[in-house]
Amino acid sequence: MGYEVIYHYKEKLNGEFSEETKTYKKRIGDPYEELPPEKLASVIFGQLARRDIYVKDVEIYEITKKKIKFKETTNGIILKNKKYSFDENFEPTFSCEVDEEEKTIEKVESSTALANPPKQEKNEELNRIIKKMTFVPEPQQQIDLLKRGIKLTPEKDYNIYKIEKGLNGVSEIYTILDDRGNKQQVSDLCFVPTSNLFMPDEQESGLSNDGLSWQGVINDNVPSVRR
């Protein structure tokens, strides 16, 4: 461990010590090294032995590596007992204090959710995959989704279960499952088609799945009837 030492001292001016008491803070070592107490004592002795100052008091604090609690929420994170949310510039800002009662309630709700998983009735429309799309958002789109509590991974493929028209009548709204397994609705502007658009057997046959769209040429050795 390291140490932080605060000296309370008076300066010597014109042969006399001033009435004003000042403070001086010094860090010795760091949390990742084992600093022997003898080293700390040596540094303090050096300050006490100075003739140009009078050290009245010394405060010593240990600097240790300590784990703190972290939790991700729908629109931010919790560090220790403080909740931080993202602003419009995607910068963390202090939101509120999380007391022990709220944390206990969160634990109880989490345990209840695990013991009683949600019914599958809300996922009836998720039984059929319409297509796959790759999530490639613009930075502002990613920020807006995080503010809505939607967590998606860029460059990741997602199943599209339902497609609806957007409010402008041009864009589309995709129903997907986000990284937390929650059903979400996201604009198609955040997605691009995946690279695997056809199966190998489609390449070989030259026909689409319905057999109606002609994609190639078959060499059938039919003799020409022209002379």
pLDDT given at position 197: 45
30-77 per-position pLDDT tens digit:
877 788 888 889 888 888 888 889 998 999 998 887 788 877 776 677
The residues spanned by each domain of the chain are: 2-63, 67-101, 123-193
Indicate if the pLDDT at residue 202 is higher than 50: no
pLDDT given at position 96: 67
Q: What is the Cα–Cα distance from 227 to 45, expressed in whole angstroms?
A: 114
More confidently predicted of 130 and 214: 130
pLDDT given at position 160: 93
- Segment 70-95 mean pLDDT: 69
Nearest to 96 by CA among 81, 116, 117, 74: 81
Q: What is the Cα–Cα distance from 176 to 159, expressed in whole angstroms?
A: 6
159, 176 in Cβ contact below 8 A?
Answer: yes
Fold of 123-193: SH3 type barrels. (2.30.30)
Q: What is the Cα–Cα distance from 217 to 222, expressed in whole angstroms?
A: 13
More confidently predicted of 74 and 189: 189
15-32 per-position pLDDT tens digit:
888 889 999 999 888 877
- Segment 196-211 mean pLDDT: 44
7, 55 in Cβ contact below 8 A?
Answer: yes
- Segment 87-110 mean pLDDT: 55
Rounded to the nearest integer, the mean pLDDT of the chain is 75
128-176 per-position pLDDT tens digit:
899 999 999 998 888 888 888 899 999 999 999 999 988 877 889 999 9
User: Alpha carbon of 103 to those of 117, 148, 226: distances in Å?
Assistant: 21, 22, 86
